[in-house]
A = this chain, B = another copy of it.
Amino acid sequence: MDEAAGPVAGPAETGAGQRRRGQTVTIRDVARAAGVSPATVSRVMNNRETVAPDLARRVQQTAASLGYRPSAVAQGLARGRTGLVAITVPDLGNPMFQSVLRGLSRAAGRDGYRLLVTDSHELPLEELVLAQESRLRADGLVLCSPRSHDRELAELAHTIEPFVLVNRNVEGVDAPTVAVDYASGVRAVCAHLGWLGHSRVAYLEGPRASVPNRERRETLEAAAEGRFALHVVECGSMLEDGFEAADRALATGATAIVGYNDLVALGAQGKLDEIGVRVPDQVSVVGFDDIPLSRYTAPRLTTVAVPQEDLGREAWQRLGAMLRGEAPPADVCFTPRLEVRQSTGPALR
């Protein structure tokens, strides 16, 4: 009904003449309409106290009626900050990283920052490119479990500053770091399996570029020494990888399978179920991370639990401080806790 009210209701008569290319309605339009200067509009929009209350109200009303919304890009340029914080993860599909993300999102959100998320898909070469690129559009960066080499990371560190490292210490880089003492987790796993009498253990190895993987493998190897035979099986980081590595793990004669992470462990468990191998009666399975699902599978997964959201929160605590020009809190290293559930049991013989 209201549609064709006026006969010649073209926008020509309404306000300004021709439309610009960029923003539909700018701060100047509001200023003009309200009969004030752009500066005043800016002040009103940013709640500067130095504006007469009634004027402020008038400006707000005209702004609202015009549907004015400040350009985030222009603000970013003028202020020298975007209000964005970038985070790069190896695999968004991994619930572990999601939890870190959530922790970061919550913490940063409280300070008015939004997240720019990028997924490097476990590709070490793309990782730093992505990180640099996203850092360019954000005020800071959280590098989560980077797969890149120490050397390259150190070389490019200055291009992504300020940033904080999660889940990895890098030689020659002094960025604030939030880490997990996986070695202690591995030792707890070994103690647990040893106590259950396991003498042959298979480790489903993660991505070669993953530092946590190397740490887990090496700690495992060291702990195995004189306690049990360790077989390292090539695998990966995803469900499918665990699923198809299970056979090979079994072929080693292992009575216990340690997955690189929960996804891999659950994938392996899926395969074991499919081929009729009972867990934990015939084979025990252990994972890392304690993703939410680990609590709901059958059998429920024994895993090394890391405080995932805390990692994100602590990361922001450091990055936020740097953005405020303050000195970031000291590095932190969480000690994981072995969550013993149903997927581990006594060795057969």
Where the two chains meet, the residues of A that have a C-beta atom closer than 8 Å to any C-beta of B are 21-22, 67, 69-74, 76-77, 80, 82, 84, 92-93, 95, 98-99, 101-102, 105, 114-119, 132-134, 136-137, 158-159, 239-240, 243, 266-267, 269-271, 273, 292-293, 295-300
Contacts and interface: CB of A to CB of B under 8 A. Distances in A.
Could you say how many copies of this chain the assembly holds? 2
Given A92-B101, A95-B93, A239 B293 contact: yes
A98 B102 contact: no
Given A93-B98, A93-B292, A21 B297 contact: no
Contacts of A158: 67
Nearest to A238: B292
Contact of A134 (B74, B114, B118, B298): B114
Among A115, A118, A134, A298, the one with the most B-chain Cβ atoms within 10 Å of its Cβ is A298
Contact of A117 (B80, B115, B293): B115
A73 B137 contact: yes
Nearest to A279: B298
B115 A118 contact: yes
A270 B292 contact: no
Contacts of A271: 296
Given A92-B98, A159-B69, A119 B105 contact: yes
A309 B101 CA distance: 21
Contact of A133 (B101, B114, B269, B295): B114
A137 B84 contact: yes
A98 B295 CA distance: 21
Given A69-B136, A270-B298, 20 more contacts: A67-B158, A70-B136, A71-B77, A71-B136, A72-B136, A73-B76, A73-B82, A73-B137, A84-B137, A92-B102, A93-B102, A98-B98, A105-B119, A114-B116, A114-B133, A114-B137, A116-B117, A266-B293, A269-B298, A270-B297
